[in-house]
Amino acid sequence: MTIGEWIDRRERPVPGEFRPLLGAAGTASLHGLLGAAEEEVANCAARAPGDRQAAFHLLAADAYVTYASMLAVVEGADAEALREAVDRVARGWWERLQ
């Protein structure tokens, strides 16, 4: 199942205006969702300071991390797996700021 298909099957739908920003084509898995978040962080970091589109990329990254965390919990991941997932995205953001 793709990330988009998985998102569309959630009990609480994504607002229509925001849904197009969550267009990752990867597989709906912890690593797929984190990869999508990392891509959005890279898109955000590539924008000029003050560019409004950067905020949308950051919101999309946050959504993917949230979905990754939710998927991990549903699949029975432990706290360490969740910590590693968030650390992975945070490291990517930090590396881009350097």
- Tokens of residue 47, six digits: 């924008």
Q: Quick one: residue 76, left, alpha or beta (phi over 0 = left, psi -120 to 50 = alpha)?
A: left
* Chain Cα centroid distance, residue 23: 11
Which residues face 27 on adjacent strands?
Answer: 2
Q: How far is it, in rounded angstroms, from Cα 74 to Cα 85?
A: 15
**What's the whole-number average pLDDT of the chain?**
87
Which residue carries 């993917």 as its tokens? 64
Tell me the mean pLDDT in the region 56-62: 92
Q: What pTM value is reported for the model?
A: 0.85
Tell me the mean pLDDT in the region 65-94: 83
2 close to 44: Cβ distance less than 8 angstroms = no
Confidence at 97, pLDDT banded by 50, 70, 90? low
Residue 70's contacts (CB-CB under 8 Å, 6 or more residues apart) are none
* Chain Cα centroid distance, residue 86: 10
